[in-house]
Structure 1
């Protein structure tokens, strides 16, 4: 299970920060029983880079929506959601507040490696699918898709049976880009957006009164 690659220290930090210590205690036995119950044993959602980038730039800027980023941090640190190392690398190139926020999640195992055998095999299958002459995609669309994190994101989701979270939308007969939802559909992977992820985690955001 993916969760086994995460560090207990990261989860303990999340529990302490959110005030859950009384519920779970501060010992390994409590923690192990908690995880064996299935609450945080398996990651369910795999996040595309645009979930982070567009949230910061458009929908949920840090200064106006701190609750969104707390919610995202919690779900990544306790093992509900994650992303992949190629997405981490894309975000780091921004060298901004989002890069700083993302870097803090790195040691918690929130960005998964794609070097495992299963993911590598699926990636080869996806690459073969994308460059198949029978496909309608233009050559630059094929090269772009295989160059960026998108192809690895779907490969990881397929190999680990995860749901992809992206802001891209499925488009029939799209030639200029290979869209993540199109690839997900071809490989039997569920694909949702940020709003649906918010609904599924059951969080509700309130507006804090201005001082």
Structure 2
């Protein structure tokens, strides 16, 4: 049996909130909270910083999801340095926060997690960014590190959610 752990990018949360606002689609967000409570949906703290740059419903929701956001570890910082050495254009200098390389660093760290269980665990990055040739974005870098990346609707399909 395989269970999935999803590592979420800001773009997916922002798009989800744009098209399925928390106050209008509470069941969508309750399903997300259920995955968070089981430790199956995580994001680096940089995602929280990106989201809370805006003061909206999503920011308020994110601030109370304390188990969702993972602080950087020393191992993630080392992974991040390697990512940025190979793909320096992943970080855009015009932004206060840039969670993209942190999302990949968290996923890569979780892939090497020696945790042994009876079920196999698949780590999947969730982002709304699309693979566009050689453009250095999350899906491209994930592909280079053998990490699956999907969009949020695909995550809903994998989880069997219907609304």
User: TM-score normalized by structure 1?
Assistant: 0.65
Larger radius of gyration: 1
Unmatched segments (≥5 aa) in structure 2: 112-122
Deviation at 1:143, TM superposition (A): 4.1
2:5 is equivalent to residue 44 of structure 1: yes
Are the equivalent residues in 2 in contact too, given 1:43–1:82 (CA < 8 A)?
no
Answer with 196-205 or 150-159: which moved more.
Answer: 196-205
Q: Compared with structure 1, are the counterparts of its residues 43 and 88 closer, same or farther at alpha carbon in structure 2 (3 Å cutoff)?
A: farther
Distance in 1, matches of 2:91 and 2:153, equals: 30
* Structure with higher strand content: 2
Superposition pairs of residues 114-153 of structure 1, within 5 angstroms: 114=72, 116-131=73-88, 141-144=89-92, 148-153=98-103
Aligned residues: 150
Deviation at 1:199, TM superposition (A): 1.5
Could you list the runs of 4 or more consecutive aligned residues of structure 1 that deviate by over 6 angstroms after TM superposition?
none
For each residue in 1:153-187, what CA deviation from the matched residue of structure 2 results, as whole angstroms up to 9, or x when unmatched? Answer: 1011011122100011111133xxx3100110111
Deviation at 1:63, TM superposition (A): 3.0
Larger RCO, structures 1/2 (Cα 8 Å, 6+ apart): 2
Distance in 1, matches of 2:147 and 2:90, equals: 20
Aligned to 1:167: 128
RMSD: 2.2
Deviation at 1:64, TM superposition (A): 2.5
